[in-house]
Structures are given as C-alpha cells and as structure tokens.
C-alpha cells in the first residue's frame, strides 16, 4: 500500500506535465510549420473554437461574482496556486488574480520552451473579453 502513493503521485505529475505542455507545444509547432503569423492565427482559431464549444456554454449568463468566486476552486485540480481578491476601485468592483504556480510554466521551463503566457493566459483573456464575459488587464507579470 505504501508503494501506491509514490506511483499515484508520479502519474499525477506526468498528467500535469502533459496538460502543461499541450497548448504551448501546439502553439510553438504551428508557428514553426506555418510561420509565426499564420501559426498564431491558426492557434487562436483552434482556441476560439474549443472555447465556444466547451467553456462558453458553461459560463455564459453566469454573473461575474459567481464566476470569480469559482475560479480558485476550479484551478486546484490542475495544480495552479491561485488567489482571487475582490476590491472596489473608483466605485467599480474589480478582481485581482494572483497566480504563483502554473503547470504550463513549470512544464515549459523543464523543457526549455518559450513562456506559455501568450498561448494560454493571453488567449484566454482575449476570448473572455471578445465574448463579453469579462475584461482582463495584465497588471503585473513576473515569471
């Protein structure tokens, strides 16, 4: 029984690494095969199609308060360490997300790949704003 825990932990780490590499690797491969601009365009089209099919139906119509309150809990199975703070600024409610453990960054660093921020986070921000879910603004970024 004691040997099962390391095996399960190892399997979890393998799955998290594969998850962490999937989008950044696809992004980089498309840029190599199709050229930087066309590769980025194709990647964004794929991301948008997946977003419309998989995520948009689940979050469309959910209030931003509910969505932001769910963010921390939904991120934990993927090993993100995420904190969401709600504040009032200039009479408007805003949320700050602080992320200090990203499986995408961990995996890309391990294999000396470029930062995953563009294909993962920035694409998410663009899609969430495009479909009227929320407006995201990068306040600080430290890898």
pLDDT tens readout for residues 9-59:
899 889 999 999 999 999 999 999 999 999 999 999 999 999 999 999 999
Q: What is the pTM of this model?
A: 0.84
- For 124, residues 6+ apart whose C-beta sits below 8 A from its C-beta are 136
Ramachandran bin of 135, using left for φ above 0, alpha for ψ from -120 to 50, beta for the remaining angles: beta
Q: What is the arithmetic mean of pLDDT over 102-131?
A: 93
Phi, psi of 83 (to 5 degrees): -125, 135
Predicted pLDDT of residue 90: 95
Predicted pLDDT of residue 99: 86
Q: What is the arithmetic mean of pLDDT over 124-141?
A: 90
Phi, psi of 84 (to 5 degrees): -115, 125
Predicted pLDDT of residue 143: 61
Predicted pLDDT of residue 2: 55
Instruction: Answer for the pair 84, 97: CB distance below 8 angstroms, yes or no.
Output: yes
CA–CA separation, 87 vs 106, rounded Å?
30
Predicted pLDDT of residue 139: 85
The closest alpha carbon to 101, from 126, 77, 134, 70, belongs to 77
Q: Is the pLDDT of residue 4 over 80?
A: no
């Amino acid at each position: 029984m004691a040997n099962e825990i390391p095996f399960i932990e190892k399997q979890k780490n393998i799955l998290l690494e594969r998850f962490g590499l999937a989008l950044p690797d696809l992004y980089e491969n498309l840029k190599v095969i199709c050229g930087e601009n066309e590769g980025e365009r194709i990647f964004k089209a794929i991301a948008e199609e997946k977003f419309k099919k998989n995520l948009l139906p689940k979050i469309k119509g959910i209030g931003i308060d509910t969505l932001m309150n769910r963010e921390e809990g939904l991120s934990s199975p993927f090993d993100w360490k995420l904190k969401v703070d709600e504040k009032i600024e200039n009479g408007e409610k805003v949320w700050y997300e602080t992320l200090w453990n990203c499986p995408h960054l961990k995996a890309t660093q391990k294999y000396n790949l470029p930062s995953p921020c563009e294909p993962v986070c920035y694409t998410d921000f663009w899609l969430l704003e495009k479909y009227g879910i929320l407006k995201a603004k990068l306040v600080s970024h430290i890898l």
